[in-house]
Structure 1
Amino acid sequence: MNAPDTRHLRLLLALALAVAAIALIWLLLGATRSALELWRELAGLPAVLRLGLLALLLAAVAASAWLVWRLLHPRPRKPRPVPAPDRGNVEQRLQQLQSRKVETAALEAELHELDRRAAGEDCYVAVFGEISAGKSSLIRALAPQAEAGVDVLGGTTTRVAHHRGELAERSLTLADVPGTQEVAARERETMARDEALRAHAVVYVTAGDLTRAQDQELRWLHGYGKPLLLALNKIDRFDATERTQLLTTLRERYAAIADRVVAVRAGGREQLLRRLPDGREESVVRDALPDVADLRAALRDCLAADRTTLEQARAGAVLGRLGERLGEAEQAVREREARAIVDRYTRRAIVGALAAVAPGTDLLIQGALATGLVRELAALYDTPLRQIDLDGFLRQAALTLRTTSSVVLAIAGNALKAFPGLGTLGGGVLHAIAYGLIFDSLGNAVVQTLHEQQRFDQEQAQQTLQRLLSEQARGRVAHVAQLALQGLTRDTE
């Protein structure tokens, strides 16, 4: 651009700014004039009426300002609490899983164990905590005469040692569960947590201040609403001042989580220095006497509640965990069924496209298949789908395909290289694989948004579709090529 053109542009910009400034000044003058006229009219009114109108005006201004602030600073949505499932809900969901050919023996075993313990008179206490915290020694101190029994839940291989004793003339069963935070022991940690939920009360054992992982475990256990005690073990390792400070810290930090924080000594071995008559000193190792009186008293208080109340809290914890496990199983079977639906429609699209001339540049060619695919996936995820949303999504998908058809063809061509037998069959196979990639991407995009959003999000599904069409994920391409090979085999047969 030359100098005269630049000067003309500057003159136009200056003129536009001048006009805008004059218009702004004119508006301000008009607003000022209106305000003065309103003030004169208000001044002529009685004092009571004038003050009332001023109050209403200020309230309107304040309300408008508040609405603007709320629009600019929206409140985060609070997640709705998910109620613990009741027995009927759990049994109904179990039956639904069984009808879909899902193995539910372990889940049914939890219900049987829940009933077995409810029918008995024992109070179950799970001694929970990290490995080396002294749980086993503490159980022996609480029930020194008990012999360990091994209970096996029907249909599983889970084994938990139970030590039976008495506490305040009540039958007591102490569950010795595996220590948490062990190396490569995720299964044992899950076993420990499940047994803690089956108990009427939980004793969490620690040998010092809680780590972050221990803090999370303690809060997780508290979330199920059953009696929870925090036992500080091995107190003989601390002097009086350290012990007092640590107990004070734990009691202040977990006042709202643990029913009581107590100090215990589970026993074990202790080393003493003994002075001999000739003046020499020798080290002596002997059994340390356990000190669990405070823990016994705390347990007695926790278990003094009505049996029905304890049983309700225990059943709520077990059913809550069963609800989580049912959700995981339902999600797994839903993913499996969604994959089968996508594969079925992908195979149909491949077979239908074997004679196509263009590589699927318009979904209207196979619009019925695309509509059926999205509707069936929405039904699987119990998500209502409006026709207007479906039509809009398919229109957007068609536009995306027009801009990415060359990419889809290139990916399909790469797939043929991995399957030489397919490559010799000509361009029809190339188009068929391209169609297969389109429908596989379409189905996976819809599944992802239904899973993450719990609704049909047209924009997210479109973005995911565009990304999947541009990816050259070898596993997905190979899968579609295998579906194409299956379609060709069936077609030739």
Structure 2
Amino acid sequence: MATTQQRRIRPLFGIGLLCALLFLLATLIHALDGLIELYERAAAVGAWLPWLLNGVFGGFLLLALGFTAWWLLPRRRRQRRVVDEPTLRAQLRSQADAGVDVSRALAELDELDARRQAGQVHVALFGETSSGKSSVIKALLPDAATRSDVVAGTTRSCQHHAWTTAAGDTLILVDAPGFSHDPDDTRMATEEAIRAHLVLYLCDGDLTRSEWAQIERLAGFGKPMVLAVNKSDQFRDDELEAIRQQIAERFTRGARPQVVGITAGGMEPVTRIDPDGHEQEVLRPRRPRIKPLQLAIERSLHRDPAALTELRDSAVFQLADDALNEAQRSHQRREAERIIATHTRAAVVGALAALSPGSDLVIQGAIGTRLVRALCRLHDVRVREVDVEAVLRDAGGTSRKSSALALAVAGNALKAFPGMGTVTGGLVHAVAYGLIFDAFGHALADALRRSGALSPETVAEGLAERLDDDLSAAARRIASLALRRTPERRTR
């Protein structure tokens, strides 16, 4: 039945394809005819005009070819910012004076100094949990005290082992935890791989998405890598070659990891036949085959030892720089919270005597101006007076639309405090004003942190989103503040 239908469809498909080709040919002839007519008319106007048309068409063709190449060719990974040691240490001193906790970045540089003085070459084994890292250590060092159980993630800390190669080089093999769903183990393993001279990446075959992400991150630090496909005895030669080709397509020639096939050992299931013919499946030790890995390690270390050390130092500088940037962001978030809380308290105190929610004070008040300038200084954003006024004006327009909501939330928050007597209008207005001011401060800090610029539209959008969220927790906090700032009233 299917064959008969195919026989009927095939002529129709051929006729349709012929019609499409004829239409394409007619379109091409029509376009060429129009182009010839255009050139004849241009030549009639002046001898220079056809040359101008040639330049226009040539430029358009080059632009089209460039766009096509940009679209089809693989994207080059963005290079990380190069960090040198003197600049990094100067930044550490400057940020420490500013109150930033730089202990983690300093610890990276101290560890680097210790490894420089020891003069040891570190080789980190890296991969997912249960990928065979501990088995590789056991194969290289039979007397090493490693644990290689069937339970995933046996290695929970970095273990260092001294190994002397056949060429007489003494290396430090680092067995790091396998990266998994535990972010602490993943961070520990990744940082140890960055500190090493060479990374041995173990996998069991085709790379998963998470494995690709880890490899590309290490490549971004410029780490030399040897990718070892474990249990290679289970793959055919063409399958191993396909994995090598897949790696080659993802990396440039200079950053391409070596790919070798190994068998790390461990246990393998076999079927045993008893004398009575009964079959049972048992586990037996798998014979390790890691000679290709040993040769790849020696090639990588002997190719250019000075460049290997330079790449290690550069990667550690970048790791310390990342730690410094994270410390700066944490410091900014803490300081931003302190600044917002200080100005919100001032706003609540100033609004206690007001007869309206006071959203216009966000536009005209000195407190709002001081808040904007303080947060801009914290995020190293230079602003003009006109920018401050624009931000406050747009924020005031947004807050006026939410004044009723803020009043309602403030009233409900004050009802949560028993024994306070009658809730007066001034308290409700003060809490509502504090809510608006608190939301405005956080929206402003978020915008500065994300874009590094003062954008009135972005701040107004962030303020609207925060005022649309659940304000109950913030309202109770600000209501408590307002009550502490309010003199005791006689209850009736």
TM-score range, shorter chain: 0.7 to 0.9
CA distance in structure 2 between the aligned counterparts of 1:65 and 1:277, rounded to whole angstroms: 79
Matches within 5 A, 1:391-402: 391-402=389-400
Aligned to 1:141: 139
One-letter code aligned to 2:318: G
CA distance in structure 2 between the aligned counterparts of 1:321 and 1:422, rounded to whole angstroms: 54
CA distance in structure 2 between the aligned counterparts of 1:471 and 1:383, rounded to whole angstroms: 28
SS in 2 for 1:337: helix
One-letter code aligned to 1:248: E
Aligned to 2:190: 193
| Aligned match for 1:251, one of 241, 244, 249 | 244
Aligned to 1:227: 224
| Aligned match for 2:467, one of 440, 447, 469 | 469
Q: 1:423 and 1:300, CA in 2 relative to 1: closer, same or farther beyond 3 A?
A: farther
SS in 2 for 1:357: coil
CA distance in structure 2 between the aligned counterparts of 1:252 and 1:372, rounded to whole angstroms: 60
Matches within 5 A, 1:86-235: 86-145=84-143, 159-167=157-165, 168-181=167-180, 185-235=182-232
Aligned to 1:432: 430
CA deviations over 1:275-322 (Å, ceiling 9, x no partner): 899999998865443211111111111001333211111112222222
CA distance in structure 2 between the aligned counterparts of 1:65 and 1:129, rounded to whole angstroms: 47
One-letter code aligned to 2:474: R
One-letter code aligned to 2:162: R
Deviation at 1:414, TM superposition (A): 1.8
Q: 1:426 and 1:265, CA in 2 relative to 1: closer, same or farther beyond 3 A?
A: same
CA distance in structure 2 between the aligned counterparts of 1:269 and 1:82, rounded to whole angstroms: 42
Deviation at 1:389, TM superposition (A): 1.6
CA deviations over 1:114-145 (Å, ceiling 9, x no partner): 11112223211101111221111111222335
Aligned to 1:454: 452
SS in 1 for 2:236: helix
Q: Considering only aligned residues, what root-mean-square deviation do their CA atoms show, in Å?
A: 3.7
SS in 1 for 2:426: helix
CA distance in structure 2 between the aligned counterparts of 1:463 and 1:286, rounded to whole angstroms: 65
CA distance in structure 2 between the aligned counterparts of 1:490 and 1:125, rounded to whole angstroms: 69
Q: 1:110 and 1:458, CA in 2 relative to 1: closer, same or farther beyond 3 A?
A: same
Gaps of 5+ in 1: 1-38, 68-74, 149-157
Largest Rg, 1 or 2: 1
Aligned to 1:382: 380
**Residues 222 and 311, structure 2, Cα contact 8 Å, conserved in 1:** yes
Deviation at 1:453, TM superposition (A): 1.3
CA distance in structure 1 between the aligned counterparts of 2:356 and 2:215, rounded to whole angstroms: 62
**Residues 423 and 429, structure 1, Cα contact 8 Å, conserved in 2:** no
**Residues 235 and 263, structure 1, Cα contact 8 Å, conserved in 2:** yes
**Residues 198 and 317, structure 1, Cα contact 8 Å, conserved in 2:** yes
CA distance in structure 2 between the aligned counterparts of 1:56 and 1:448, rounded to whole angstroms: 52
- Does the alignment pair 1:51 with 2:29? no
Q: 1:276 and 1:471, CA in 2 relative to 1: closer, same or farther beyond 3 A?
A: closer
Deviation at 1:444, TM superposition (A): 1.4
Q: 1:66 and 1:202, CA in 2 relative to 1: closer, same or farther beyond 3 A?
A: closer
CA distance in structure 1 between the aligned counterparts of 2:387 and 2:141, rounded to whole angstroms: 65
One-letter code aligned to 1:197: I
One-letter code aligned to 2:212: D
Deviation at 1:380, TM superposition (A): 0.5
TM-score by length of 2: 0.77
**Residues 270 and 282, structure 2, Cα contact 8 Å, conserved in 1:** yes
Aligned to 1:36: none
SS in 2 for 1:172: strand
State the aligned residue count: 428
SS in 2 for 1:51: coil
CA distance in structure 2 between the aligned counterparts of 1:328 and 1:291, rounded to whole angstroms: 43
SS in 2 for 1:304: helix
SS in 1 for 2:303: coil
Q: 1:280 and 1:431, CA in 2 relative to 1: closer, same or farther beyond 3 A?
A: closer
CA distance in structure 1 between the aligned counterparts of 2:343 and 2:396, rounded to whole angstroms: 17
Matches within 5 A, 1:22-33: none
Deviation at 1:104, TM superposition (A): 4.0
Q: 1:360 and 1:63, CA in 2 relative to 1: closer, same or farther beyond 3 A?
A: farther
**Residues 146 and 164, structure 1, Cα contact 8 Å, conserved in 2:** no
Aligned to 1:32: none
CA distance in structure 1 between the aligned counterparts of 2:136 and 2:262, rounded to whole angstroms: 8
One-letter code aligned to 1:259: P
**Residues 198 and 318, structure 1, Cα contact 8 Å, conserved in 2:** yes
CA distance in structure 2 between the aligned counterparts of 1:357 and 1:283, rounded to whole angstroms: 85
One-letter code aligned to 2:163: G
Q: 1:61 and 1:176, CA in 2 relative to 1: closer, same or farther beyond 3 A?
A: closer
CA distance in structure 2 between the aligned counterparts of 1:392 and 1:415, rounded to whole angstroms: 32
**Residues 362 and 395, structure 2, Cα contact 8 Å, conserved in 1:** no
